[in-house]
Amino acid sequence: MIGSRGRAATDHSRLALSRGAFLWWLWPVSVIVGVVYASLLPFDLSWSAFQPANGFGLGAIGWRDTSREDIATNLLVYVPIGFTLLVFLAGKRPVGWTHALTTVIFGAVVSVVAEGLQTGTASRVASWTDVILNAAGTALGVMIGVGWDRLARVGLARLRRRINERPFSTASVVLVLGLFVYHLSPFDWVTDTESLHASFGRARLAMVGPPWAPAEEPPWTAVLDQLGGCAWFALLAYLLGLSAREAKRPPALSFASTLRDGLLLVVLIELMQVFTESHIFDPAAIMLRAVAVAFGGWCSIYVVDSITRSSWRRRPGMAVPNVFLVWLGAFQVTLLLLGALDSSDWSLRGLTLAGVQDPPFEQPWRQPIGVAAHDMFSSIVTYAALVVTLAVLLRRGRVANAWLTTGAAVTLLALGIEVLRCARPAHGVDFTGPLFALFSAIGVATIYPVLRPAGVHGASSSAR
């Protein structure tokens, strides 16, 4: 028989899953709106260009040559449309040809509408070549969605079982992959001897000497970047230590294996950056991250047991005590606030809301796709980590509507950061950051309820 606690846990899991499923419809809508929005930047539209004689802009679409970067951009931008729309249309049913064909047609229609509107935009060039590439990108997203459907039906059960059995080991593997992607993107590998020599020439081989930050930036800017990077390696070491303890290794051996694996990753990532054009080898980063690895491993092996009295082994959700969450949240908020003061000419006296500087996402649109993707990924992960920290803390405090409260608070924090940046000369409010914060909150609120029942309820029951 299932006890009252078991029924309550099951009902809570179903409620969480239903809330997560309710948010899924936001993804295809948001992606489609975002793609059309980005297609019309910087919004220098001339409505007089849309006349019945030219089919309201469709007749003005021509053919043009395109560069490799434009091909990659037009393909990749429509991949999320194909993926999210296919997953939404299929729902819990197996993906069929009707879903795939409908998605590709809809993606092509969205592309035609966007290109038609671009005929009235002075800074954009409308082309049927882009329509074909966008449709191909949608089809690529459909293929990824088909693969995801099969993975979700076979691999997701295995993933949930692994999270159930080894939650901290699984989390550490995911974080290792994320650190490799973040620190090596956009993967502009050195391919010739001259570039390799230039890469070695950029290396900061001295542990002390010139400041890490450029002359026009205050010295704490680079310090904040280093602290932010160290925090992720400390978190990795914390998870590695917990994964060793959940494998029933003694404390001394767990600490030794955590140091070995963490330091190996730190050195490997930094050495691989020598062979990229956009990264710089820095021995000081190795030293600081090594200290972070030692600190994170020490906390997970020798501190958390005394705080929780080892009860986290029965309840993995308590492996991060409330006091850790409070300090972690304060650290994240402090980094974000101090990051707004990233200019030497920042002055509170110059604080003025000079209006909106650029339309949201215009700055990423003006950057190369690799740089823009890296910056967007960094912003989303930063805000998503803060959302998780604050939401879990509020949920433990039994605060009603914890996800809604956290999402609103983090979005307002991002807006406040943009207001602080208005203290720099010729800088207006840019809503890109607050929108990233909002999207991060929605994403975490969608995904977290799906994985949490396996990582918490399932693991606790198996521990009994």
Q: How many C-alpha atoms does 341 have within 13 Å on its Cβ side?
A: 11
pLDDT of residue 104: 92
Question: Looking at residues 131-140, what average pLDDT do you find?
Answer: 93
Highest mean predicted confidence (pLDDT) among 107-116, 183-192, 312-321, 440-449:
107-116
Higher pLDDT, 244 or 206: 244
How far from the centroid of its chain's Cα atoms is residue 155's Cα?
22
Highest mean predicted confidence (pLDDT) among 332-341, 362-371, 443-452:
332-341
* DSSP characters over 376-390: HHHHHHHHHHHHHHH
Question: Looking at residues 146-161, what average pLDDT do you find?
Answer: 72
Least confident of 3-12, 219-228, 283-292, 350-359: 3-12
Residue 426: which pLDDT band, with cuts at 50, 70 and 90? low
Q: Is the pTM of this model over 0.85?
A: no
Quote the mean pLDDT of the chain. 78
pLDDT of residue 342: 63
Running DSSP on this structure, what letter comes out for residue 273?
G
Three-class SS of residue 27?
helix
Q: Could you tell me which residues come within 8 angstroms of residue 339 by beta carbon, excluding any fewer than 6 positions away? A: 221, 224, 417
pLDDT of residue 220: 60
Least confident of 39-48, 98-107, 172-181, 189-198: 39-48
Q: Could you tell me which residues come within 8 angstroms of residue 66 by beta carbon, excluding any fewer than 6 positions away? A: 74, 127, 129, 130, 133
Higher pLDDT, 78 or 446: 78
Higher pLDDT, 372 or 329: 329
Higher pLDDT, 151 or 418: 418
In this predicted structure, the answer to whether residue 453 has a pLDDT above a threshold of 70 is: no
Highest mean predicted confidence (pLDDT) among 17-26, 139-148, 423-432:
139-148
Share of the chain above pLDDT 90, in %: 20
Q: Could you tell me which residues come within 8 angstroms of residue 7 by beta carbon, excluding any fewer than 6 positions away? A: none
pLDDT of residue 4: 47
Q: Could you tell me which residues come within 8 angstroms of residue 370 by beta carbon, excluding any fewer than 6 positions away? A: 185, 186, 187, 188, 278
In this predicted structure, the answer to whether residue 138 has a pLDDT above a threshold of 80 is: yes
Q: Which amino acid is at 312?
A: W
Largest pairwise CA distance in the chain: 79
Question: Looking at residues 8-37, what average pLDDT do you find?
Answer: 62
Buried b (16+ CB within 10 A) or exposed e, 382-408: bbbbbbbbbbbbbeeeeeeebbeebbe
Whether omega before 94 lies within 30 degrees of 0, making that bond cis, reads: no
Residue 383: which pLDDT band, with cuts at 50, 70 and 90? very high
Cβ distance 144 to 164 under 8 Å? no
Q: Which residues pair with 356 in a beta bridge?
A: 429
Question: Looking at residues 149-177, what average pLDDT do you find?
Answer: 78
- Positive or negative, the Cα torsion across 361, 65, 137, 29? positive
pLDDT of residue 321: 87
| Phi–psi pair at 277, nearest 5 degrees | -85, -25
Give per-residue pLDDT as tens, 324-356: 889 999 999 988 887 777 655 555 555 555 555
pLDDT of residue 201: 79
Both tokens of residue 17?
Answer: 């899953």
Q: Please state the length of the chain.
A: 464
| Phi–psi pair at 62, nearest 5 degrees | -120, -160
Give per-residue pLDDT as tens, 275-326: 888 888 888 889 999 999 999 999 999 898 888 877 777 777 778 888 888 9
